[in-house]
Amino acid sequence: MVLMLLSITVVKAQDLSTSLKEANEQLQSATGIPEMMAANSKFNIIAAKWSNEWAANYYAAYAKAYIALKEPDAKRKDQLLDEADKYVEKTNAINAAGDESLVLAAYVAFSRFLVDPANRWKKYLEIMNDNLDKAKKANADNPRIYYLQGIPVFNKPVLYGGGKKKAKPYFEKAKTLFAKQTTASILQPSWGEKDNADYLQKCND
């Protein structure tokens, strides 16, 4: 409770960009779920303060999908993603056709798929791919599109058209585009580069 009050006080004294930057740094440097959830609480506070700002809602959704990928409990994963969906709706209400809004929806769907891949692949991979296709039409130079497209291909058995060799071109294209992206402002999403590099390394191993 004390930490929450401190977070509220700090956020109130900062602008949106600074608040998001600090919360995101806390999320990315966290080594366990409790630390990630502390960052998640900050994103919730930020989204409440700047409820009409696209970036505030975007990062509130992103944080929950990010944590869901690392949370071991399936029920808790779905709870986080239920919360993420609400913020996705808000980002879409502000900028539905934007490529980052569409990539975010794909990322949340991907996180939902991974809760139970055997039973969810058809529904959620379809949602993911549909959003990524739309994002590509909006901005084909968004590296997160190819990064996310590559992961299911990487994990698909070679027998069914997947594997390292098939996935590598996606991660290579993403790498090229990540190198060109602007990272000066937190208001312009730039996540995924490190994870993409990790997948590319796995493809080369």
pLDDT in tens, 161-204: 999 999 999 999 999 999 999 888 999 999 999 999 999 999 99
> What pLDDT score was predicted for residue 4?
46
> What pLDDT score was predicted for residue 182?
87
Q: What is the CATH number of domain 57-204?
A: 1.25.40
SS3 content of the chain, % helix, strand, coil (to 5): 80, 0, 20
> Mean pLDDT over residues 46-51, rounded?
97
Percent of the chain predicted with pLDDT > 70: 94
Amino acid letter, 153:
V
Contact 132/105 with Cβ under 8 angstroms?
no
How many other CB atoms are found less than 10 A from the CB of residue 174?
26
Cβ contacts of 28 within 8 Å, gap of 6 or more: none
pTM of the shown model:
0.92
> Mean pLDDT over residues 33-53, rounded?
97
| 107 vs 152: CA distance, rounded Å | 12
Query: Domain coordinates of the chain in residue numbers?
Result: 57-204
Contact 43/66 with Cβ under 8 angstroms?
no
> What element of type H or E holds 67?
helix 54-70
| 143 vs 161: CA distance, rounded Å | 22
Position 14 confidence tier, pLDDT thresholds 50, 70, 90: confident
Q: Does position 7 have pLDDT exceeding 70, yes or no? A: no
- Of the candidates 24, 26, 9, 31, which has an alpha carbon nearest to the alpha carbon of residue 55? 24
